[in-house]
Amino acid sequence: MYENTLILIMGESKRRKQLGIPPREKTEEIKLPQLDKKAIQQKVRTTLYKYPIIPFLFYGAAILILIGGLFYFFKTFNIV
């Protein structure tokens, strides 16, 4: 009765040893690329200095989306 429970609780290394299988090979750790924040900031700043209209376009798009959402909300729920 307890033999089945021990097999279920047994770790992988013990099971491999019992079956005569060699230990599992360790995989290499994946190294994530490092981000250079200063270089990214510099690229963003140069782009914004080159095209100063970009922030106004983003703010305008955000305001239009907000107004469109409010219009859709009022139209859907018949608030007005």
pLDDT digits (tens, 9 = 90+) for 4-26: 555 556 678 888 888 888 888 88
The answer for residues whose C-beta is within 8 angstroms of residue 55's C-beta and 6 or more apart is 48
Domain boundaries, the chain: 35-80
**Model confidence at 78, in pLDDT bands (50, 70, 90)?**
confident
| 48 vs 51: CA distance, rounded Å | 5
Give, rounded to a whole angstrom, the gap between the first and last alpha carbons of the chain. Answer: 72
Residue 43 Cα to chain centre, angstroms: 23
pLDDT in tens, 31-41: 888 999 999 99
Which residue, among 1, 3, 26, has the nearest Cα to 13 in the 3D structure? Answer: 26
